Amino acid sequence: MQRIRLRYTKRGRLRFTSHRDFQRAFERALRRAEVPMAYSAGFTPHPKASYANAAPTGTGSEAEYLEIALTEPRDPEKLRILLDESLPAGLDVTDAVEARTSGLADRLTASVWELRLDGVTVEDAEKAVESFLAAGTVEVQRRTKNGMRTFDARGAVAGLRADSPQPDRPGQGPCAILRLVVRHVTPAVRPDDVLSGLRAVADLAPPVPAAVTRLAQGLFDEESGTVTDPLAPDREAVTAAPADRSGVAVPAAAKAPEGSA
C-alpha cells in the first residue's frame, strides 16, 4: 500500500464549501482520475483518506492537507495533476509527496492567517494589535454545540501585526491587513476569536466581515517564530531514497541485499 500526502486550496467562492462538501467533491475526483484507492473494510467501505485540521467554512486557504492510501504505486506529481484537473477551479491540488514519515497531523501545530479588514485604517489596526499583544489574557466567547464557551484568545497567538494592503484597490476606502500566527491548541483559537479579542480590548469593529485566508500551516519553530512546511520531511526522505522500476522511490531498507538472487 502506498500513501500519498496532498496539499490543496480553497479559493474564491469555494471558501464557502464545507469540509463535507470537499470530501464529496474529492471522492468524485478520485473516481474520475481512476485512482487505485484502498478502501476500508465493513458493510460500507469508503476510500482511505485522512483529512488534517480543515479550515472553518467561509475561510479561504492555501494550505489544507490530506493523506490517501493506494493499492498500486503512482507517481505523486502525475497523480496531483490528474486530481487537480478533476476538481473544480478553486479546489486546487498544489503539492503531492509520497509519505515516508509518520505523524503528518503531529506536524500541524500552527497556522499563518491573513485577515483583510475593509473599512479599517492601518493606524487603528496597529493600535488594536498593540493593546491585544500587551494583554495577559483576552477572554472571548464562542457558541458551541454545548452552549456558550469562554476561553483565552491571547495565549495561542504567537504573532500578530498590521500591514497595508497591496496597491490593488485604488479609491475603495481604507483597508488593513492583519498577519496572524496562531498555535493549534485546545480549545482551538480561530481568526474570528482573535477579531473578537481585538473588539474587546480596543473596540476594533470592521464595518464588513473580514476576508480570512490561511496562508500556511505546519510545525511552529519557536526560535524563528515561523511555520515550516509539513511535507518537507517526506520530500527529503523520498529524494534520498532510490527509485524502483516504476519510478516510485523506495526506502533503502527495502532494497535486496547485495549478492541475493
CB-based contact 137:163 (threshold 8 Å) = no
Confidence of residue 250 (pLDDT cuts 50, 70, 90): low
Distance of alpha carbon 219 from alpha carbon 65, whole angstroms: 13
Which is more confident, 112 or 254?
A: 112
What percent of the chain clears pLDDT 90, i.e. is strictly above it?
A: 77
Is the pLDDT score of 243 beyond 90? no
Q: Residue 121 carries which side chain, given as an amino acid letter?
A: T
C-alpha span between 166 and 164 (Å, rounded): 7
Confidence of residue 256 (pLDDT cuts 50, 70, 90): very low
Task: Tell me the pairing of strands 226-227 and 220-221.
Answer: antiparallel
Domain 110-218 has CATH 1.10.10: no
pLDDT category of residue 241 using cuts at 50, 70 and 90: low
Q: In sequence order, which residues have a C-beta less than 8 Å from that of residue 70 and are 6 or more positions away?
A: 1, 2, 3, 4, 35, 36, 37, 38
Q: Provide CB contacts within 8 A for 90, sequence distance 6+.
A: 9, 10, 11, 12, 13, 14, 15
Position 180 scores a pLDDT of 97
CATH class of the domain at 2-104+229-243: alpha beta
Provide CB contacts within 8 A for 165, sequence distance 6+. 116, 175, 176, 177
What residue ranges do the domains of the chain occupy? 2-104+229-243, 110-218
CA gap 146, 56 in Å, rounded = 18
State pLDDT tens for residues 37-77. Answer: 999 888 888 899 999 899 999 999 999 999 999 999 999 99
pLDDT value of position 211: 95
Query: How much is the pLDDT for 62?
Result: 97
**199 grid coordinates:** 473588539
Tell me the one-letter amino acid at 191. Answer: P
* Averaged pLDDT, 181-194: 94
* Intrachain domains 2-104+229-243 and 110-218 with the same fold: yes
pLDDT of residue 254: 40
Strand pairing partners for 47? 39
Of the spans 49-53, 153-157, 254-258, which averages the highest pLDDT? 153-157
pLDDT digit string, tens, across residues 200-216 = 999 999 999 999 999 99
Q: What pLDDT does residue 43 have?
A: 87
Indicate if the pLDDT at residue 29 is higher than 90: yes
pLDDT in tens, 86-140: 999 999 999 999 999 998 999 999 999 999 999 999 999 999 999 999 999 999 9
The pLDDT assigned to 111 comes to 97
- Provide the pLDDT for residue 128: 97
The chain-wide mean pLDDT, for the chain, equals 89
Compute φ and ψ for 169, nearest 5 degrees. -130, 55
* Degrees to nearest 5, angle at CA 63 with 53 and 114: 100
Predicted structure pTM score = 0.86
pLDDT of residue 259: 42
Indicate left, alpha or beta for 93 from its phi (over 0: left) and psi (-120 to 50: alpha). Answer: beta
Is the CB of residue 242 less than 8 Å from the CB of residue 249?
Answer: yes
CB atoms < 10 A from the CB of 111, how many?
26
